[in-house]
Amino acid sequence: GAGVSQSPRYKVAKRGQDVALRCDPISGHVSLFWYQQALGQGPEFLTYFQNEAQLDKSGLPSDRFFAERPEGSVSTLKIQRTQQEDSAVYLCASSLGVTGEQYFGPGTRLTVT
Amino acid sequence: GENVEQHPSTLSVQEGDSAVIKCTYSDSASNYFPWYKQELGKGPQLIIDIRSNVGEKKDQRIAVTLNKTAKHFSLHITETQPEDSAVYFCAASILGPGNEKLTFGTGTRLTIIP
């Protein structure tokens, strides 16, 4: 079946611009996660939804980062007033629930110039 | 919070030999330990996982062991093949109602030498 999809795959933004990154989870998956992966590093947790409820946003680095999942399916990660340090790959993952098994999308590579 | 350390950062192995990657975790409450393989330009792919009530799990050429007392777990790949070349990440989680986040290690770049 279809896996997790993310769009766009690549995004270049000028410093100060706002960006929106989209994630389509696997159909029927209750939980959705956003991670940030810097070059040469492991993914770092940003935020997590169970259906439409955002249960944990402890990893969001600043109030410029905002995520939503209004209908419990597609999710959007928004970054306002982008900074160079926001340059990274943003990964989305989904799971059936408290099974632990998270399935990742291909990521969106964000470059802030 | 949870801290996961992973060693080595790079590993080169002759084709057909075995590869071992080790991770340690800090929070004794962690109960779920997945391993991911990441190829260039792709997202991490779940290859095997283990839960805290199990000491060892095997799937064909891949096995994972868990030592809860020492708080470490390892990935073993036998009969390595060129397609095993990738970056491997371990992770740990305290799975429970309202918590599913993964804490990842820093990765091991595995190169299989033909």
- Closest-CA residue in chain B for A4? B43
Per-residue confidence (pLDDT) for residue A1, from 0 to 100: 56
For chain A, the helix, strand and coil percentages under 3-state DSSP, each to the nearest 5? 5, 50, 50
Cα B107 to chain center, whole Å? Answer: 9
Q: What is the mean pLDDT of residues A8-20?
A: 98
pLDDT tens readout for residues B71-105: 999 999 999 999 999 999 999 999 988 888 999 99
Q: Which residues pair with A16 in a beta bridge?
A: none
Nearest to A33 among B32, B45, B101 (CB): B101
pLDDT value at position B1? 84
| CB interface of B with A, residues 29-88, below 8 Å | 32, 34, 36, 41-46, 49, 51
**Cα gap A82→A86, rounded to integer Å:** 6
Which chain A residues are within 8 Å of B45, Cβ to Cβ? 104
Tokens for B78?
A: 């036998």
Residues in chain A: 113
Residue B99 in contact with partner chain A when CB distance is under 8 A? yes
pLDDT for residue B32: 95
pLDDT at B111 over 90: yes
For the segment A66-92, the average pLDDT, to the nearest whole number, is 97
Q: Which is more confident, B1 or A79? A: A79
CA distances for A100 relative to A17, A29, B95, angstroms? 35, 12, 7
Tell me how far the alpha carbon of residue A33 is from its chain's centroid.
6
Partner-chain contact A106 B32, CB within 8 Å: no
Contact B41 A105 (CB under 8 A): no
